[in-house]
Amino acid sequence: MTTEATRERGRRRGAGDDADKQARAAHSERTRAEARLGWYLAGPAFVIMLAVTLYPILQAFYDSLFRYRLTTPDDRAFIGVENYWVILRDGFFWQSVAVTVLITLVTVVVELILGFALALVMHRAIRRLRGLLRTAILVPYGIITVVSAFAWFYAFDINSGYINHWFGWVPGISTDLNWFAQTGTSLFVIIASEIWKTTPFISLLLLSGLAQVPSDLEEAAEVDGATAWQRFRRVIIPNMKAAIMVAVLFRALDAFRIFDNVFIMTNGANGTTVLSLLAYKTSIGRLEIGLGSAISVLLFLCVILICWVAIKLFKVDLASARGE
């Protein structure tokens, strides 16, 4: 299409100014046609994405300004920001914020270390092993989170579990240890299952980042006598900063929305209620649409905040890091 246009323009240039103007008009007509076609093709996807997210979040914001319980629908009344006021003064809300932040921080830090180790292993592995390791590592990625949650739950459960029997020699663990009866031990299992499930994602991102590190730089450093640790610190890390940032940001956002495994393992008992679970229980469990919507909006704002902080703090250009 473009070659054609150039050829046409070239042919007409000889015919004088008038023809040139005409050609330019034809060219801009073509540009416009291309833009129109672009939007015809991409428009439906764009519109649907907005419809399935922008509309609900606006509706949630609207509902959050009302006293609105489905159990007493006639009681519905506009109350402004009172729902937010109620939530922000509630200790239970802040506790779930704290638990969610704790889970996010711990999983991201551990997964970054573990994911890096796995990525390095895959990067260095001989060809035959590389395929095997990559396949194995994809298994957790493919498994339904709920299934993984049940697997971890049954392994640790005081009735059906075997972990207590296996690790009885570890101080603090005995056959009558009920992991899901206390906050700390419950969170331990929840975090462990989350790490198991999502480390593959982070390590694959890091692996593709590792592939971008110029190998001649690494070799040059080795020739110059740099130790493995120095090469790692000075050559590898700086060259894959973008990949690391993207991996951390996406995992942090994902961990912040944690829901499935908490629902299955403790259902929020013993102080393990995370923000998503609190929103779910308030709106769908107790049918408090107004309050639940307010929590949903707050959760959404937290996600925006995390993005904003990440972009400001690390100066990640998400779009460029993702390849555009």
Footprint (CB under 8 A) of another protein, residues 18-47 = 31, 34-39, 41-42, 44-46
Q: Does 221 bind another protein (CB under 8 A)?
A: no
Q: Does 212 bind another protein (CB under 8 A)?
A: yes
Q: Report the site for another protein in 68-107 (rule: CB under 8 A).
A: 70
- Cα torsion angle, 234, 240, 242, 246, sign: negative
For the CB of residue 144, give the shortest distance to another protein in the complex, in Å.
Answer: 5
* Burial of residue 176 (number of CB atoms within 10 Å: 0-12, 13-18, 19+): exposed
Is residue 261 within 8 A of residue 149, CB to CB? The reply is yes
**Position among 14, 52, 91, 169 found at the interface with another protein (CB under 8 A):** 52
* Cα gap 186→111, rounded to integer Å: 19
57 vs 220 by CB, closer to another protein: 57
187 vs 310 by CB, closer to another protein: 310
Q: Report the site for another protein in 100-119 (rule: CB under 8 A).
A: 118
Is residue 239 within 8 A of residue 217, CB to CB? The reply is yes
**Position among 65, 236, 283, 316 found at the interface with another protein (CB under 8 A):** 283
Within the chain, where are the H helices?
2-13, 17-63, 82-88, 91-124, 127-142, 145-156, 163-166, 183-211, 215-223, 228-231, 237-239, 241-256, 260-265, 275-280, 289-314, 318-321
For the CB of residue 47, give the shortest distance to another protein in the complex, in Å.
Answer: 9
Q: Report the site for another protein in 153-192 (rule: CB under 8 A).
A: 154-155, 159-162, 164-166, 175
60 vs 187 by CB, closer to another protein: 60
User: Binding mask 263-282 vs another protein (x if CB under 8 A, - otherwise)?
Assistant: xx-----------x--xx--
Contacts of 256 (CB under 8 A, 6+ apart): 100, 104, 275, 302, 303, 306
For the CB of residue 18, give the shortest distance to another protein in the complex, in Å.
Answer: 27
